[in-house]
Amino acid sequence: MRGTSLNLSPVRLAKSILGPDEAKAVSRVILEDGYLGMGREVESFEAEIAAFLGVPSSHVVCVSSGTAALHLAVAAICKADDEILVQSLTYVASYQAISAAAIPVSCEVLEKNITINLDDAKSRITPATRAIMPVHYASNPGDLSAIYEFAKKNDIRVIEDAAHAFGCSYDGKLIGSFGDIVCFSFDGIKNITSGEGGAVVTADADVAQQVRDARLLGVEKDTAKRFSGERSWEFDVSQQGYRYHMSNLFAAIGRVQLSRFAKEFAPKRVALAQQYRTLLGNHPQVNLLESDLGAIIPHIQPICVTAGRRDALKDYLEKNSIQTGIHYKPNHLLSYYGSGKESFIVSERLYKELLSLPLHPEMRTDEVQAICNLIIKFLAS
């Protein structure tokens, strides 16, 4: 079956939305400042993220990626044999960040929103459990108050993988404006991008300082020098560090993106996701995840396609120039994380049903309409 009658030009699953303002900002760094390392632009980006979240600037530490943010957060609180509870159904970045400095312990997800299943997590606590890493899948923070209560009761830390959730709220508060340690990603297709980049946000001054030093090869207190255009020549190092700092070039892009977020990107993402919900919400062969579009800014638009038809629908959409994705293959199925020796029934079923549809702020409503028409037509066949 073909749907070419709709005559769609290729629709991308995701897209970086950059324009002349980002180009000007990058040129300014190159032509006026000429310092491409970590300096004043990064300092300003951190201050502007902090102002957006309503937290002190000292709580925000920008790094080279969301994975680096997670890795540094884990390294700041864990020893190598500490365990971190994490849902198996997440991007491999969450797992790699944990296994770089500790041990990931796979947990099941809730079917309704693909956030961590706390009952399952409870059954996996051991004396070595040091933290839980809730993943805000498709921008949904899940039941964060239950997660924090669980962490408090068991005396463990919380590292929120908020890679999908920049600009989202929980209980009327922005993600990152409260909580323990929150990690964002600013890679090319996230709610805002800095090209590549990420941030650790925490009110824990010790963790913030460790992350700040560790992003610059462990050189102690180098950040203040870099922000004033200098660097340390005489220094000490007392922990393992990494070259994970953010460049001025990337921060310059991020600053423009942040200024565009509330008026331009956020309402567009919400409106497109709302349109998908309206058009597919009652379809008997499609399940939508629970999602509060009054509180979240969706980064991806997954649907669950039942009756074993996901792969055929994916092929059909690709043939009609619609890019789709599968977020994600559960990590417990990967060789490095156990080759499926453990079984997580819900995660494994969802992996066969999940299909992410195109979502980015340059999409048009007629494209969403055409994609949904194709899906409905295919599923009726």
Nearer to ligand PLP, 74 or 163 (CB): 163
Nearer to ligand PLP, 90 or 106 (CB): 90
- Which of 118, 112, 65 has its CA nearest to residue 87? 118
The residue sitting closest to ligand PLP, measured at its beta carbon, is 66
H/E element holding 271? helix 266-280
Nearer to ligand PLP, 42 or 372 (CB): 42
Cα separation, 76 vs 181, in Å, equals 10
Cα separation, 207 vs 57, in Å, equals 14
Cα separation, 157 vs 159, in Å, equals 7
Looking at residue 326, its amino acid is: I
Q: DSSP character for 139?
A: G
Q: Is 54 exposed, middle or buried (0-12, 13-18, 19+ CB in 10 A)?
A: exposed
Find the shortest distance in angstroms from Cβ 98 to ligand PLP: 11
Find the shortest distance in angstroms from Cβ 96 to ligand PLP: 9
DSSP-derived secondary structure for 235-270: --B-S---B-BPPHHHHHHHHHHHHHIIIIIHHHHH
Cα separation, 342 vs 331, in Å, equals 11
Find the shortest distance in angstroms from Cβ 67 to ligand PLP: 3
Nearer to ligand PLP, 360 or 375 (CB): 360
Nearer to ligand PLP, 118 or 300 (CB): 300
The binding site for ligand PLP (CB under 6 A) comprises 65-67, 90-91, 93-94, 135, 161, 163-164, 185, 187, 198
Nearer to ligand PLP, 163 or 272 (CB): 163
Find the shortest distance in angstroms from Cβ 381 to ligand PLP: 33
Nearer to ligand PLP, 163 or 371 (CB): 163
Find the shortest distance in angstroms from Cβ 44 to ligand PLP: 20
Query: Contact 147/107 with Cβ under 8 angstroms?
Result: no
Find the shortest distance in angstroms from Cβ 159 to ligand PLP: 11
Nearer to ligand PLP, 193 or 275 (CB): 193
Find the shortest distance in angstroms from Cβ 231 to ligand PLP: 25
β-pairing, 157-161 vs 129-133, is parallel
Tokens of 27: 């040129």
Q: In whole angstroms, how far apart are CA 325 and each of 89, 257, 260, 312, 356? A: 14, 24, 26, 13, 5
Spacing of C-alpha 76 from chain mean position = 20
Nearer to ligand PLP, 279 or 326 (CB): 326
SS3 354: strand
Question: What is the distance in angstroms between the CA of the first residue and the CA of the last residue of the chain?
Answer: 9
Find the shortest distance in angstroms from Cβ 282 to ligand PLP: 29
SS3 90: coil
Find the shortest distance in angstroms from Cβ 68 to ligand PLP: 7
